[in-house]
Structure 1
């Protein structure tokens, strides 16, 4: 893999003057050439490619929430603009398709190969920005769809099956798919439960929330959920507890295993690739003073196993007596709010950002 990266690095540098224009009627927005910047640490350093995504005027953006890669190598992104929820790019950043207006709070996006066919699992968090520029809420939604957007089924409000009381909020933020097809829904902006269904959307169990006798089961802003397959014999459900600045690991049936603490990092969903865990850091706090939740304070963090090895857009990770110390955003803010990380086969990263001045995803090209 390193030889492949070296080859691509050389051929990319040789062709930096080449540009690609999108097809079939999209109008490109020409941007000034960005100066090259390298961010990250150790073996995980990246060249920022801010103008990778070629977005036309017909596809406006609000927030870029999450991105996945399908079996054809296309990068699929979910956002929350009322005119488009799903954007599909090729590897060059050319926009090749877009669809969807039924997910105004488009937030979570997971892809799963089922019998050789890709399916998407979408979550609408129940929050969206209206035309007056104010955040309003509606019922959250979880859908399984084809790549083209045909809905296979929806998972309804947990109140309809008796596991939530009337008035309990349901604002789902993420879905993960287990090895047997079970569906794990993170109610990250609602009641902070992880709700487990079978592959048909039938309820099995739930755990999490905020009022457990054993605090290891408490989740506060259960923003993300994913399956950790790094130990193939013991896959685990990994849940974000963003307000606690940590990831909590559970068995497939919801038994607590361990916690990875990430001081000063309010992380989004965990993304696994080889032995690495990647995550966007949506918020952090400066060394001096405090910031508002809308201030640009994010970056990206990368772990090898359970150890943080790089913070692109942030300060280098430091450990003291085996304990991770606080990390901070770089002063010039190369990344504003890290909301998701997508990893391609060459270990390049694609970063989706929330509240980032309506900018499209940026590419971090590994060097």
Structure 2
């Protein structure tokens, strides 16, 4: 059976998904800062609370913490890929309130959407799953809509079964976003790099993206994440991650390319909107020698209303020369292994979910 590393090698050589999921052996980042040390830059500085989560992984096992959302009750809902408890629910003090979910071995993407005053979840199983021996296996991905307590409402169709993909195209979705009219946008970030648009009933509308265009602006390479940007309320747009090219790409809601924001050196995950800022976990970063996919080189990056990087908690301070952002690196004293997602609460604290982080729960960054 094809290993995860073989899959990644082939997709990189083919110039398609390009470095989607590097198969690092996990370990604990050494030489972490003291607990009371302040990280970040400018107005976005934080105290690290790495023991925020009041739980034991012996009772509630964790493989990877992938994404987190806050519901209308202020609860923090985290999706992981351990099928003893795919979903862990915390309060903001870190107390574990609930856990559920056994059907998502590739639990990866989590979107919460208020639908008529009721919270709904869109859960993405990316199709890659890790057994308890550590071996990675690939199967078909899936997107499910559930209630906030896990009752399944419907699943989106596999694009290969409805004539949208050919049967030999991979479908390994990574993320969803919900548009202002209820349309569902799915990123096929570990598969064929398309954005798939469905209506609120799960009926297919269109697709765009992929990685075979002559115009590189239209290509997505590891389309890892997507969100709706409402900063211009009269004209919301989509922000899509092109992780292998260290960039966010902006599109209209019907898939027309607008612009690219380059984030050199940072292999970013999904964009997370809070007020006028964009936050993102950086899963890994380059070395100063230009080596990619280095183990335990993650951090968090924060952009302002003009899409300028203003802080890199766990990373070095952003630098601009002649208006151009220079390559970004992890700080010399590491904090994170691999920042996979962030969640921002009403007090502007940040909760960081990590992939490949020695089975550890999320870390809280308390805003100072």
The structure whose Rg is larger is 1
Residue pair 2:35, 2:49 contacting (<8 A) in 1 also: no
**1:180 matches 2:181:** yes
Change (3 A) 1:184 1:291: closer
**How big is the shift at 1:214?**
2.2
User: Secondary structure of the equivalent of 1:81?
Assistant: coil
What residue in structure 2 maps to residue 86 of structure 1?
Answer: 87
1:349-364 superposed matches below 5 A: 349-364=350-365
User: Secondary structure of the equivalent of 1:77?
Assistant: strand
**1:239 matches 2:240:** yes
What residue in structure 2 maps to residue 26 of structure 1?
Answer: none
**How big is the shift at 1:292?**
4.3
What residue in structure 2 maps to residue 287 of structure 1?
Answer: 288
CA distance in 1, matches of 2:109, 2:179: 16
Deviations 1:191-212 (A, max 9, x none): 0000000000000000000111
Change (3 A) 1:289 1:213: closer
Deviations 1:135-176 (A, max 9, x none): 101110100000110011001210111010012100110000
Unpaired runs of 5+ in structure 1? Answer: 1-33
**How big is the shift at 1:82?**
2.2
What residue in structure 2 maps to residue 9 of structure 1?
Answer: none
**How big is the shift at 1:213?**
2.9
**How big is the shift at 1:248?**
0.2
User: Secondary structure of the equivalent of 2:160?
Assistant: helix
CA distance in 1, matches of 2:241, 2:286: 18
CA distance in 1, matches of 2:292, 2:209: 28
Higher relative contact order (CA 8 A, sep 6+): 2
What residue in structure 2 maps to residue 274 of structure 1?
Answer: 275
1:130-145 superposed matches below 5 A: 130-145=131-146
User: Secondary structure of the equivalent of 1:222?
Assistant: coil
Q: How many residues align?
A: 333
Change (3 A) 1:289 1:325: closer
1:326-337 superposed matches below 5 A: 326-337=327-338
What residue in structure 1 maps to residue 300 of structure 2?
Answer: 300
1:183-202 superposed matches below 5 A: 183-202=184-203
**1:44 matches 2:18:** no
CA distance in 1, matches of 2:227, 2:124: 14
1:195-214 superposed matches below 5 A: 195-214=196-215
1:8-157 superposed matches below 5 A: 35-56=35-56, 57-157=58-158
User: Secondary structure of the equivalent of 1:231?
Assistant: coil
**How big is the shift at 1:242?**
0.2
CA distance in 2, matches of 1:296, 1:256: 33
Deviations 1:63-89 (A, max 9, x none): 000000000000000000121110000
CA distance in 2, matches of 1:203, 1:291: 36
| Normalised TM-score (structure 1) | 0.89
CA distance in 2, matches of 1:299, 1:321: 25
CA distance in 1, matches of 2:98, 2:132: 25
Change (3 A) 1:164 1:177: same
CA distance in 2, matches of 1:145, 1:118: 9
User: Secondary structure of the equivalent of 2:244?
Assistant: helix
CA distance in 2, matches of 1:213, 1:336: 36
Worse overlay, 208-217 or 263-272: 208-217
User: Secondary structure of the equivalent of 1:47?
Assistant: strand
User: Secondary structure of the equivalent of 1:84?
Assistant: coil
**1:227 matches 2:228:** yes
